[in-house]
Amino acid sequence: MRKAVKVLLLLLAATIIIFSAAAGFIMLTFDKQDYCEALTTTVREFTDYQLEIIEPLTTDISIRPSFSAAAVKIFIPGKPTPLEIRKFRLKLTLAALLKKHLQANISGVINSQPSLNLVLPEELSAVESLTLATRVATNGSELKLSNLRLKATNKQGLNIKADGHGLIEDFSAPQPFKKLDLKVKISSPDSRTFRGYMPDDLPELGKLQGSLRLVAVSNQELAARKINFLCRRDAGELETRVGGEISRIPVDPDKPNSDIDLKLELYSPSTLTVNEFISQPLPEIGPVRITARIRESKKELSVEELELHTGNSGALEIKAGGRLKFKESDSKTEPALDEIDLKCDISAPAGTRLPDFSGSTDNGLQVPDNGPLRATFTLKGNPEKINFDDFSTHFGQTVITAGLEVILSGKRPYLSGNIHAQSLNLHDFAISSETEPKIPDAAAQKPPEPKKTETAKPDRSQFFSPEPLPWELLHLIDCDLKLTIDEIVGRQDREGISDLNFTVKLKAGRLLADPAALVYKSGRAEFSLLIDDTDPASAPRVELKGDVKDLELEGLLETLALDLQVSGKLTARTEINSRGRSPADLAVNLNGPFEVVLEKGKVPSQIMKLIAIDILGWSFDKILMQKRSTEIGCGILALDTRQGLLKVKAFILESPDLLITGAGTVNLKDEACDLTIYPKKKRKFLAMVNPVNIRGPLQDPQVIAIPVKSAALLYGGALLAPQIFLPAIGLDYLWGKVSKDSKDKKSPCFEYLHKKKYIR
């Protein structure tokens, strides 16, 4: 704005000099050639400007003396090109001259590009023609301008009109107007015409129309009042309104505008339009309206009365309001956020499919049918601390509250607070456990083919990756968070998980999750995890402790929507540790015990069918395979690890018809195993079968049958569970083999439990 004013000042400077000199010479001579020479001489003597009048020149010595020229060139010191005013005309009022006053009408056109570049700011480079017309009169030492009219245009449809009046008291002042009042009207088919006056990277806003009032407030500053602009794209795709005033516009281009008070309003029928203004893509949720009041002084900028409303009440609806405050920096960088105070409200009716950031609702989360979505929170803070307060979410039957704080003044951000869920209903998150798993017809299934040892062995390095884990993440932030869930609800007819809670502390690379616990019926599970990367001279240390007591699996798995059809009472203990930067390092340095026991349960018979039966040399009864599940009486797995060498201390699986034991080792350093399992049917027919030895690389071991005596010599009475190391079979093999002894027979499995005091 202040640069545009320079156009007016330069034009007035030239015209005032010209008509002042001309008035004196009209009194002396009417000879055309003498008149031109005398006029240029006088201008040269009284100013630093050089004047050149281009023929033809006409004069009129009537009651209203006047002269005109095809063009007038004004050579300004320090400028490489002259200011050329075409169609120049000056008409004097004779009555004023007789009273020793000057009064004249002046007009002219500037339409050459060099002259436009001389008088117009770079931001208005699109202007192709500038027309000036005004009435000038002297009053003592003052110069009065009335009927002042300026018009700037181009062939693309740009049109700027200014009408008003002014009073110049000191022409040498930076802002010479003692009074100035201009009404400016602007229209353009493209807002990018004024991109120099808009924020960087602002997209095209459409056709621009508007007006403002430009006034002088001091000899150093101007003001823009009654600002009213509207930008509108075709078909109403986007509408932007700006209104208000800028009270201080320094003429000095190096000084910023201040005392800004503007009201901004943006509307679009589609949220996708907002993606053009921000780098983060937003999903389509409906119309969006943003209103704000922007106020700026010399030291700060604030966005007040901010209101955002997007979506509609029949679907997802987001509301936000508050204020933002920015602190002006001494440098030329953008203002920094100094204060934030926002309140947000998000809601959606029951059954609404929420969009994701890809813009699709196909994969988005669905609001439960049994309740709406309603989330509210406030965000307050400054550059040193931000508070996330009063967070409350109702999502179906799930209720979550939280209070968080982020401190930003330290070496790393520090996040602390509590997250509390009164009830976490898994059905609310589209996790369904109502559908029973489809178990294929056993008769239609064929046993898997035996492993072929002659197949090419895969790259062993892929089993435990040597690539470092992202330990640097532990040093990005410090935190102290506590999560508490009173109840996790799955099926409505099942008892939920209660008292799930854990605390996470992270400081300078040391992560501690302790305690972490949950309760289900009469069972309980407790865990603790330590990851320590505080010593740069050594590899990170990892410790995991776990203690599971009498967890009922059937209801627990159903509550967690895991359709494994596994039941029984689970007890487990572990206390392992390691050190290393990669999975391979952690495997090699692994130490500690691991013990797990499953009592009195069931597993799907189909899982049993998936076992490599032909390798073991026997098959199950057809009647057994027709059942949906197989009873499990007792299963035990006990491992002890020293420097990556896993030794099986105990492995027993029992059912009414089957007993499996085993022994062996797994070397994580060499990524190799040497395991033997000994299956035995409890019925007399085919009660004895040869043990199976599994030996070789973990990714593709050899499986061969060995004599019973050889196995006894190799492993004695040791018990083993090698199945968990077979990638093709996995942990389901272990659960599938856990079984129960008949009541009239002694159970080795329960004897071991009595010995270890797991049961009494």
Q: What is the pLDDT of residue 194?
A: 81
Nearest-angstrom CA–CA distance, 470 and 582: 9
739 near 632, Cβ under 8 Å?
A: yes
- Using CA atoms, how far residue 111 sits from 119, 183, 349, 568, 668, in Å, is 11, 23, 62, 93, 84
pLDDT in tens, 65-124: 667 778 888 887 777 888 888 888 877 665 555 555 566 778 888 888 888 888 777 778
Tell me, what's the pLDDT at 198?
74
Q: Structure tokens of 103?
A: 């009064």
In the structure encoding, which two tokens stand for residue 413, read together? 């951000």
Please list the helix, strand and coil fractions of the chain in percent, rounded to the nearest 5, in that order. Answer: 20, 45, 35
Mean pLDDT by 10-residue block, N- to C-terminus, for the chain (760 residues)?
49 51 48 65 67 69 68 81 84 59 76 84 84 82 85 91 87 74 93 77 87 90 93 88 92 82 93 79 87 87 93 90 84 75 94 73 75 93 92 91 93 94 80 41 44 44 83 95 89 71 93 89 90 94 93 78 76 94 95 88 59 42 56 82 91 74 88 83 56 83 69 44 30 32 45 50
Task: Please spell the DSSP secondary structure of 317-375, one letter per residue.
Answer: EEEEEEEEEEEPPSSSSPPEEEEEEEEEEEEE-TTPBPP-TTS-SSSS-B--TTS-EEE
Would you state the structure tokens that stand for residue 445, as one six-digit string? 């299934």
% residues pLDDT > 90 (the chain) = 31
Q: Quick one: which H or E segment has residue 623?
A: helix 622-626
305-341 burial code (b ≥16 CB/10 A, e <16): ebebbbbeeebbbbebbbbbbbebeeeeeeeeebebb
pLDDT of residue 738: 32
- Report how far residue 605's alpha carbon sits from residue 609's, in angstroms, rounded to the nearest whole number: 6
Rounded-to-integer distance, Cα 157 and Cα 631, Å: 86
| Secondary structure (3-state) at 124 | helix
Hey, what are 515's tokens?
A: 């305690």
Q: What is the pLDDT of residues 274-308, one digit of tens each?
A: 888 876 677 888 899 999 999 988 778 899 999 99
Residues 6+ apart with CB under 8 A from 340: 322, 323, 324, 325, 379, 380, 381, 382, 386
Please say whether the beta carbons of 400 and 376 come within 8 A: no
Q: What are phi and psi of 162, to 5 degrees?
A: -135, 125
**Residue 252 vs residues 56, 178, 257, 397: alpha-carbon distances, Å:** 39, 17, 10, 63
Tokens of 206: 């459409």
Residues 6 or more apart whose CB falls under 8 angstroms from that of 493 comprise: none
- Predicted pLDDT at 667: 93
Quick check: 257 and 184 in contact, CB under 8 A? Answer: no
| Confidence (pLDDT) at 444 | 43
